[in-house]
Amino acid sequence: MIRFSANLGFLFADRPLPDAIRAAGASGFHAVECHWPYDTPAREVKQALAETGLEMLGLNTRRGDVARGDNGLSAIPGREAEARAAIDEAIDYAAAIGAHGVHVMAGFDQSIAGGHTFIDNLDYACTRGARHGLTMLIEPLNEHDAPGYFLRTTEQAADLIQDVGASNLKLMFDCYHVGRTEGDVITRLRTLLPIIGHIQFASVPDRGTPDSGELDYRTVFSEIRALGWTKPLGAEYKPAKATEDTLGWLQST
C-alpha cells in the first residue's frame, strides 16, 4: 500500500498549522510535512502530531529576507552566518517536534563560489543534524518557478551528495520539479533511488492535483511501489479550491 503525506505549505494552508495537521489526519493522510513552521510554538505542533498519530516528515530552513527576494541562504557566499543560524533553527525545531528531516534551501546563486559555500554549509548541517538522527535534504527546483536557484538538476544534487560524503545527506526527489526540468521521471527515480530521502509530487506543468497533467501518476506510483519504497509520498500540489474538495485522487489510489 502506498502511503501519502500532506505538505501543509500548500494543503490545508487556510488554517493554523496544528489545525492543518488535524485536518490532514481526518482526511486520510498518513503523515505531514511543512515549509516554515517557526511562527507556531513547537509544543503545539507536537501536541497535534500526538493527537493524530501522524509523522512529521520534514520542514525547510528559512528562506531569508523574502521581501528582498531570498529563497534560501546556504549557497550564497558572504551570508554563511545567516545560513547557519537558519540551519540551527530548523534542526532545533525538527528535533523538538520529532520530525525526520530538514530541507536545506540553497538560494539564488549559480556561481562556483556558491557551490563551495553550499558544500561547507551542508557539511555543517549534516554534522549537527546527525546528533539528532535527522536526514538533511537538498532539492533541485525548476527554472520556470525559481530562475537563478543554485540547485537545478538531480545530477547536480547527486554530485553534491557525493562531494559532501555524509550518510545523512539525501535527495528530495520532487516529481513535479524533475518533470518540468529533466523529464523521464521514472528512469531518474530508478537511477537515483539509493540517494533519495523523500519523494514529492504534483501535476506537470501546473502543479495541481496528481490526477491531471502530463505525468501519469498511476504509473509513477506503481513504479515507486515496485522499487520497494515504503515511506509516505509527499503531496505538494497547489489546490485550486478547498483542499478537502481536491482529494478524489487520494480516495482512488
Known active-site residue 143: no
Task: Determine which one of 33, 89, 214, 236 is catalytic.
Answer: 236
Q: What angle do CA 133, 97, 95 make, to 5 degrees?
A: 30
| Integer angstrom CA distances of residue 210 from 12, 169, 205, 221 | 17, 27, 11, 10
236 has catalytic annotation: yes
Question: Which position among 139, 143, 182, 223 bears the catalytic label?
Answer: 139
Q: Which residue has the cell 554549509?
A: 121
Active site residues: 139, 236
